[in-house]
Amino acid sequence: MLYKHVSSECGEEAIETLALVYKPVQQGPKRVLGIACQGTIVPGKHQNHTDTVLVSSYCIMEDPPEGYVVSVGSSDPHGDLQSSAQQFRAQRILNFPFEQHPVGILKTPQPIMYSDTVQPMCIASVPLPDEHACIMGVVTKGGLMTLRHVQMLYESDCQELAQGLSSYLCAKVKEIDAEVAETLGMDPELDIYPFSAPLDFDINGVKAGSLETPLFCLTNEHPTWSVYGFALNAFDVTHPDSPILFSDVPSDLTAIKEHSDISYQEWVQHHPYWEDSNAYFTFYRRLMHHTCMKIFNNKVELQFIMQ
């Protein structure tokens, strides 16, 4: 039997690295999944798969006992390309103090295999040079994941939004299609819009600015795409000239690399007394770990989107 070789080179196609992240929310009497943010899968120590999804820290501020769900392999997971979407349970293993380092990591206990539609994104290792081309992920009003070209701005253009961040990036979208009502930037006050099943799926209630999305760039030194940050905030996400604040991934490279090369199971074994920014839940989530696995395996607590 002949096997098709699937390249594991990072950053070759940006759209194939996008991941839609869901978290459990309460909708009336039901516990359902709602869109939390858009992330990107990044390489680990294996050549043919990964278990690491890089996200904005704001996306995973909560640490629900059920964990998170990530969808990869389809840019339209609730539309025409729904059949190619793959969903994975994911657990937060690292959440930087988001006031200084707004980057977080989700781990999937099951491997995300690389394929024609699933590829890893490179992680930027140096500050963005002067010569570059950048794009950012967006999520349309219909749940379609796509990309838009952005123009990088001076840091001073986002200084008012930065609120003391030690390192950040600033950009504006070159074009905004008002008909798709893309969700750009970040406003922690806005609620995500929950759904219970694909047949009921309707995210017309998604508000602009409620989803954090990744920033990818090409440079002369690194001619494939790398993730440089995640959208955090904007003055006016519906205005094409509004500066958008992004986190700065290269400044957190050491911690990101450290955790991308370790599996979730290894991390649990090596960090039995780990405490994160939600220290109140640390002991509770230790007790719930095996229960969580059963919850997701049996699909009893959530109206799961994998039908």
Instruction: Please determine, for residue 205, whether its predicted confidence score (pLDDT) is greater than 50.
Output: no
pLDDT of residue 102: 81
Which residues, in sequence order, are CB contacts of 98 under 8 Å at separation 6+? 57, 58, 61, 104, 277
pLDDT of residue 165: 83
pLDDT of residue 296: 34
* pLDDT higher at 130 or 80: 130
Residue corresponding to tokens 């929310």: 25
Q: Which CATH class is domain 14-298?
A: mainly beta
pLDDT in tens, 22-69: 888 777 777 778 888 899 999 988 889 999 999 988 888 888 888 899
CB of 227 closer than 8 Å to CB of 246 = no
| Tokens matching residue 297 | 């395996």
Supply the pTM of this predicted model: 0.80
pLDDT in tens, 131-144: 999 999 988 766 78
Share of the chain above pLDDT 70, in %: 69
| Tokens matching residue 212 | 């954090």
pLDDT in tens, 226-239: 999 998 888 876 67
Q: Where are the domains of the chain?
A: 14-298
